[in-house]
Each structure stands twice: as structure tokens, then as C-alpha cells.
């Protein structure tokens, strides 16, 4: 990220300084405690909202800045990753969930929900995955039965990012159990609705400070006014929004690869063995050279995807390519970085060790590597 990039302009670098300052003051000093607690303090959300760091693409009439430029999202992803602070679920909120409301919501829904989402007073989550259904959305069992002016929602979800803190949850449910993917709808469940309960804050291998929960819905009355988009259109809406979600994950991966390169290069120069820096040994020098090359390829690829996304040209195939390739590369490089660091790489006080456990989920959420390859293969006609 130290190199000048054709993709970014002066305003993006100015925004970077704002984000970097915010992280240094409001996030990094508290992140170790949040990791121990398994959750961040809500105040970091409202502070981010005050500084305009959330949902900047939301139209001004609903409280946002109206900036439709995914390069700002890229900068946010890079800075959070560079600092190694994965607790605040800002990217899930801004890049993945709020766009559903912006694109599918009625004017009334937007006025009701978007200002709080922009300010950070309302935290969002999306509930797709279930104990028995992950990548296969048609296999979900959560149901919403039409009762005239409301739905009655029953089911459970798991692995829900922002699940404990969320005030507003976009729930994927079946409104017609006999219609296959055409029977899937999106319902917005709000904190305090009777029958909506949270289970455990799940004990994950990594991303310890980001709350990830089980959610339960027991005869939850959801008014028709909380149906997002048309009934039965949920599956299509999810497919339309998934490329942006996968690009967001790829942006994190590319930034992580660069961060791992920086860690490894610094360690190779500083750590000595047999009377000289370990980077002077050909094997290690070649290892870092390979990391530098691959991290650069990832950066060029992801920047091109962001450019295409801004132009409305990022399709499902390219997003799938970016998601699987960069995240698999991230896991490859973090493994090599830990090996280079030796015993220190296994100690959690070293950033590379945290990066190791935090990286592993990248090839799983947002659609596994295998699912991404299936999407690409089908797009190639095989």
C-alpha cells in the first residue's frame, strides 16, 4: 500500500488519513480488551458514524454522504486490515447489509432505518446461514407464514456476524416452502420483537473481537412493512448483491497479503541467525520475493475489480475469481510468514500469529472456495 496507485485519487488518500487516525485513537488502544471480551464497545460504532465512516454511499436525504464510489470502501478495508483490527464489523455493515436496504427498501423503510445505520446508532446483521444449511440457500428451513398484515417467523440461524450487537437483522426465510428459490424472501427483524432471541456469542478460532452469534425466531410477528423487496424475490436479491460482498472479502485478502509481506520483510531484515539477517539466506530471500510478487498480483487484480465495480461491470464470475484466489493466497502467505518467524510466529503477541487465526475464515464465509469455483465453472459452460 506504500506504492502510488492509479486507482486512487487525492480525496481517497485524504480519507485514508481520516480512517487511519480514527483507528489509532478509537480502535487500536482497545482492541486487545475487545478480543478478550469477544465483542467491541458500541461507542466505537457511533464514533465512526460521527466521522462519516459508515455507509457513505447512502443518499444524503437519508443521512449519508451519497458517495457512490467503492474506492472509499477499499480504503476502509485496507486500513482496518493493515492495523490488524478486525473487531468492528464495519465492512459487514457498510459493504454487505446496508446495500440491501438502500437498493430494495421503500422510501418509508429507508427513512425509518438508514439514518440510524449511517450514524452507527443502529447496527445491522444479515442472517442466512443455518445449522443445517450454509452455501445451499435453498436448503434453509426458517419459515415466514403469511397472516394477512404480518408474517410469523420461525427458525434459527448461526455464524451471524454482528449478531449480538445487531439492532436490525435481514433474515432470509421461506415464505413459500413449495416454490424452491422463488419462495425465499427477506424480512427485517428488529431488536425487541417478541420471540427474537440471541444465543451464544460463538467462540471462534479467530476474529475474536467480532461478535458472531446464534439467532432464534419463535413465532416472531414481523409486520408486512418489514418485507424487504417483493415476496419471493429474496434469492435473486441475494445473488445480485453477492458480487459486492465477495469483492469486499477479496479487498481484505489483498490488504492482508501486503501486510504479511511487510511483516515478513521487516523480520527477515531484523532477525539474525548464524551471524547475519535471515533474509540474507537464499531460501528466505526467495520466499519473500515470491510473497512480494504474489501480493502485487493480488493488488492489481483487486484494484481492477474495484474499478470494474465502480463502472457497473463486475459480474458474478469475476467476483468469484477474486474471492477464491485472493483468500487462498492469503492463507498460503500467512502460513509462510509464520514459518519464517519461527517460534515467534506461534506467539499470539506477534501480529503474524493473530493474522494466522484471523485469516482462516476468509476461504469459507461469503461462499466457500469450492462454491466460487462452481460458479466460475458453470459460467464457462461446464
Whether residue 73 contacts residue 99, with contact meaning beta carbons closer than 8 Å, is answered with no
Whether residue 131 contacts residue 156, with contact meaning beta carbons closer than 8 Å, is answered with yes
Report DSSP state, residue 143: E
| 191 vs 15: CA distance, rounded Å | 32
DSSP-assigned states of every residue in 185-253: EEEEEETT-TTEEEEEE---SS-TTS-EEEEEEEEEEEEGGGEESSTT-HHHHHHHHHHHHHHHHHHHH
Read off the C-alpha cell for 33.
480488551
Q: CA–CA distance from 76 to each of 1, 23, 234 (Å)?
A: 13, 10, 28
Is 245 an active-site residue? yes
DSSP-assigned states of every residue in 237-278: HHHHHHHHHHHHHHHHHHHHHHHHHHHHHHHHHH-EETTEEG
CA 324 to chain centre: 14
The angle, 0 to 180 degrees and rounded to 10, between the axes of the packed helices 70-83 and 282-310 is 150
Annotated catalytic residue, options 245, 258, 290, 370: 245
Read off the C-alpha cell for 136.
445451499
CA 47 to chain centre: 20
Phi, psi (deg, nearest 5) at residue 280: -80, -15
Residues serving a catalytic function are 245
Amino acid at each position: 500500500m506504500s506504492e502510488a496507485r492509479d486507482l486512487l485519487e487525492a480525496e481517497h488518500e485524504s480519507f485514508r488519513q481520516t480512517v487511519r487516525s480514527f483507528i489509532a485513537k478509537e480502535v487500536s488502544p482497545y482492541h486487545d480488551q475487545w478480543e478478550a471480551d469477544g465483542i467491541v464497545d458500541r461507542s466505537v460504532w457511533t464514533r465512526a458514524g460521527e466521522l462519516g465512516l459508515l455507509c457513505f454511499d447512502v443518499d444524503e436525504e437519508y443521512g449519508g454522504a451519497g458517495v457512490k464510489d467503492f474506492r472509499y470502501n477499499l480504503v476502509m478495508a485496507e486500513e482496518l486490515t493493515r492495523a490488524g483490527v478486525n473487531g468492528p464489523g464495519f465492512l459487514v455493515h457498510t459493504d454487505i447489509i446496508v446495500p440491501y436496504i438502500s437498493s430494495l427498501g421503500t422510501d418509508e423503510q429507508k427513512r425509518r432505518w438508514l439514518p440510524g445505520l449511517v450514524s452507527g446508532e443502529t447496527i445491522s446483521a444479515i442472517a442466512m446461514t443455518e445449522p443445517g444449511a450454509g452455501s445451499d440457500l435453498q436448503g434453509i428451513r426458517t419459515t415466514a407464514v403469511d397472516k394477512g398484515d404480518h408474517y410469523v417467523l420461525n427458525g434459527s440461524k448461526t455464524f451471524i456476524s454482528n449478531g449480538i450487537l445487531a439492532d436490525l437483522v435481514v433474515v432470509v426465510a421461506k415464505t413459500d416452502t413449495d416454490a424452491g428459490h422463488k419462495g425465499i424472501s427477506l424480512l427485517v427483524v428488529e431488536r425487541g420483537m417478541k420471540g427474537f432471541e440471541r444465543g451464544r456469542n460463538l467462540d471462534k478460532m479467530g476474529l475474536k473481537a467480532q461478535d458472531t452469534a446464534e439467532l432464534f425466531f419463535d413465532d416472531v410477528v414481523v409486520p408486512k412493512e418489514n418485507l424487504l423487496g417483493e415476496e419471493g424475490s429474496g434469492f435473486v436479491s441475494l445473488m445480485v448483491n453477492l458480487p459486492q460482498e465477495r469483492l469486499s472479502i477479496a479487498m481484505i485478502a489483498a490488504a492482508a497479503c501486503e501486510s504479511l509481506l511487510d511483516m515478513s520483510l521487516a523480520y527477515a531484515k531484523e532477525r539474525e541467525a548464524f551471524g547475519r539477517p535471515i533474509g540474507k539466506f537464499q531460501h528466505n530471500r526467495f520466499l519473500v520475493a515470491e510473497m512480494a510478487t504474489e501480493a502485487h498480483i493480488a493488488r492489481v487484480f483487486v484494484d481492477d475489480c474495484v474499478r470494474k465495480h465502480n463502472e457497473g461491470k463486475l459480474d458474478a464470475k469475476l467476483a468469484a475469481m477474486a474471492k477464491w484466489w485472493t483468500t487462498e493466497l492469503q492463507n498460503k502467505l500467512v502460513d509462510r510468514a509464520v514459518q519464517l518467524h519461527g517460534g515467534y510466529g506461534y506467539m499470539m503477541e506477534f501480529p503474524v500469529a493473530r493474522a494466522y487465526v484471523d485469516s482462516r475464515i476468509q476461504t469459507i464465509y461469503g461462499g466457500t472456495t469450492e462454491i466460487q469455483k462452481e460458479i466460475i465453472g458453470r459460467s464457462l459452460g461446464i
